[in-house]
Amino acid sequence: MSSNVLADQAPAFTERSVDLEDRDIRRARRQSQVIRLGSIAALIAVFAYFSAVAPGFANLGNIANVIEQSAVLALLAFGMSIVVLGGGGDVIRGGIDLSLGANLGLCVAVFAVASNAGFSDWLAVAITFGTGAAVGLLNAIAVVGLGVLPLLATLAVMNICAGAELVLTQNTVISTNSPLLGSIVGLSWLGLSVTDWVLVAATVVLIVLVQGTRWGLRLQAVGGQRQAARAAGLRVQAYLAGTYVAAGLLAALAAILQAARLSGSSPGSGDILLSVVLTSLMSTVFSRRLLPTIGGTLLSVLFIGSLINGFQLLNVSSYWVNGVQGVLILFVVAVRSLSTRRGGA
């Protein structure tokens, strides 16, 4: 075969493959749009149903309650989404931070102990954020520095945090009271509590940071195409490490809200990991590219919060919520693996 023939055939070949690729991309896009619109429709349907049937569901006070009850979970889920965004969506090898719940528990304990030791509120807050960031840094060292799988690295750090919490609290309730905690529980503005406003502010800041800044876009590149990002000269390791530290800081912020709600630290308060994983996974069905987003995460958290709230208002046993959460996980994971399989074929 002469080189001439090859040269003649090449353009046709390329055109056909571009054509195929286009069709694949279009199909994938259509598919994800169906998933996204379907999920939003399901969300609206559930909200509409509860508003119509559950007494008091749509009251402003009740909605404020749901937001307040969701705040701690939402902040942790934001952390998880950022880690997944930077580390990639593969559940086994991608980014995941299993230490978030335990980090929350540890930070609540640290705040309570620091507060009771006579430190001022602001010093206690600083120590708490320091703790959260240190745990994030530990994750970063294990994942980025030592190259341990995030799933295993953060599992180990989860145990370290849980152990440290036990050492601090002796597994007992440590109650604390401070002006800061008092105002978090007591103050409100426009019908929303301080906790509500913290969540609103955190959401806005993170949406801008992740979806609107250079850091956020590069982070998405690191998570989506690590080789390409590295080739483009991005400091991939630094971005990855940053996600774990950011998640740690969010756990610390959540911890201060939690300490206000529980009037201190209570054993088992970090027992929230499954919901964090679920809501972060769920957030992907609200995005065009099936990636976790901050907005999607907030929607998922509010969705779960409304389900729990709506069930209680309808006097349906809270035991059903566990089952519903399980079904949701299965649904989301199924959608994701189906779309990846088709995309890969």
Partner 1 sequence: MSFRKRLLAGLALTLGLGSLAVSAAQAQDAPSLKGKRIGITVAGTEHYWDLKAYQGQIDEVKRLGGIPIALDAGRNDSRQIAQIQTLIAQKPDAIVEQLGSAPVLQPWLKKIRAAGIPLFTVDTISPYSINDTTSDNYSIGEKLALQLASDIKGRGNILVFNGFYSVPVCAIRYDELKLVLRAFPDIHIIQPELRDVIPNTVQNAYSQVTDMLQKYPNKGDIAAIWSAWDVPQVGATQAVLAAHRTEVRTYGVDGSPDVVKMVADPASPASAVAAQQPYLIGKTAIDTVARYLAGDHDLPPYTFLPAILVNKQNAADAAKALGQS
Q: Where along the sequence are the contacts to partner 1 (CB under 8 A)?
A: 55-56, 59, 61-62, 65, 68-69, 72, 170-173, 175, 185, 258, 261-264, 266-269, 271-272, 308-309, 312-313, 315, 317-319
Q: Is 188 left (phi over 0), alpha (psi -120 to 50) or beta?
A: beta
Nearest 5°: CA angle at 297, between 151 and 335? 70
Q: How far apart are CA 143 and CA 241, in angstroms?
A: 8
Q: How far is the CB of 26 from partner 1 (least distance, A)?
A: 44
CB of 286 to partner 1, least distance (A): 24
User: Which H/E stretch holds residue 225?
Assistant: none
Q: Which residue has the tokens 């209570």?
A: 266
Token pair belonging to 193: 């509590």
> Which residues have CB under 8 Å from 339's CB, separation 6+?
28, 31, 32, 35, 290
Distance in Å, CB of 66 to partner 1, minimum? 8
Nearer to partner 1, 308 or 329 (CB): 308
Least separation in angstroms between residue 319's CB and partner 1 is 7
Residue 121 beta carbon to partner 1: minimum distance, rounded to whole angstroms:
18
Q: Is 135 exposed, middle or buried (0-12, 13-18, 19+ CB in 10 A)?
A: buried
CB atoms within 10 A of CB 44: 10
* Residue placing its CB nearer to partner 1 in the complex, 122 or 319: 319
Q: How far is the CB of 187 from partner 1 (least distance, A)?
A: 14
153 Cβ partners below 8 Å, 6+ apart? 139, 142, 143, 146
When the beta carbons of 39 and 325 are compared against partner 1, the nearer one is 325
d(CA 33, CA 10): 34
| Closer to partner 1 by Cβ: residue 128 or 306 | 306
| Residue (158 or 290) nearer to partner 1, CB | 158
The Cα-based distances of 265 to 114, 198, 337 in angstroms read: 11, 20, 39
Q: Which is nearer to partner 1, 4 or 315 (CB)?
A: 315
Nearest-CA neighbor of 321 among 287, 275, 281, 288? 275
Minimum distance from residue 19 beta carbon to partner 1 (Å)? 54
The span from the CA of 84 to the CA of 87, in Å, is 5
Query: By C-beta, is 209 or 308 nearer to partner 1?
Result: 308
Q: How far is the CB of 62 from partner 1 (least distance, A)?
A: 5
Cα dist. 151→42, 74, 139, 147, 292 in Å?
Answer: 31, 21, 10, 11, 17
Smallest distance, partner 1 to C-beta of residue 300, A:
17
Cβ proximity to partner 1, 20 vs 53, nearer residue: 53
Q: Give 31 or 65: the residue with its C-beta nearer to partner 1.
A: 65
